[in-house]
Structure 1
């Protein structure tokens, strides 16, 4: 994957088209969301990652995460993607978060991710907008 391929892939997330983005994520992706907050964890599949993150965010952000790509760097099989979210929670909290996703590609699919973000803001989002379930380990 070159830089333009990665930008095109992440454009799906920017346009709210998670289905086309996740079509290029391996079913057995190894995805770590770093931190100590309700979304943090080590996810061993695409299904578990979506359930533990995007589905939880959808419960507290009525218009979704609303991601935009800020920067993309490529080094071999790895891409570093800087993202920003601009969203408003049910409680009125502005969820303006920044992310750094380190993504490893194989056969034009994401097979590994380490994601870094503002843990405090995620924790505050769920303190103000509690949901019933907890993130997996």
Structure 2
């Protein structure tokens, strides 16, 4: 069954309100998530736990108040959604981390099973260069 734009917006409401757990409840445990680019968050993650550890957990160490992700545009066809987002955040050193993202999401049975994520690699690299993660 095809997903709808309204359903995808509802799934992403958790990220917009800062409730990551609500969003990740709609992501398969064995999600295949690729973060494109050449920066500390880039990689091919084969599970929800690996993705969270490799991205959100790292960001949490350099963005003390987290990041707010807001959906800007959405395109849905069959079981795929292309979601454009932007973030509003401030790093430990005061650097603004207002990044832009494009996530190409595949849904199966109303759950996200695959994602290809694109973002500003240079901004992510600068974020981690200027805000080293504490051990």
Give the equivalent residue in structure 1 for 2:22: 20
Give the equivalent residue in structure 1 for 2:35: 33
CA distance in 2, matches of 1:120, 1:88: 16
**Any idea what the Cα deviations from partners look like across 1:38-85, whole Å, max 9, x if unmatched?**
000000000000000001001100111111110110011100000000
CA distance in 1, matches of 2:53, 2:134: 13
1:90 equivalent among 89, 92, 96: 92
CA distance in 2, matches of 1:90, 1:130: 9
CA contact (8 A) 2:33 2:51 kept: yes
Question: Secondary structure of the equivalent of 2:67?
Answer: coil
Give the equivalent residue in structure 1 for 2:109: 107
Give the equivalent residue in structure 2 for 1:127: 129
Give the equivalent residue in structure 2 for 1:74: 76
Question: Secondary structure of the equivalent of 1:127?
Answer: helix
Question: Secondary structure of the equivalent of 1:95?
Answer: coil
Unaligned runs of 5+ in 2: none
2:5 equivalent among 3, 6, 22: 3
CA distance in 1, matches of 2:130, 2:93: 6
TM-score normalised per structure 1: 0.95
CA distance in 2, matches of 1:20, 1:128: 31
Report the CA distance between 1:132 and its aligned residue: 5.5
How many residues align? The count is 133
CA contact (8 A) 2:71 2:84 kept: yes
TM-score normalised per structure 2: 0.96
Give the equivalent residue in structure 1 for 2:49: 47
CA distance in 1, matches of 2:106, 2:5: 13
CA distance in 1, matches of 2:110, 2:12: 13
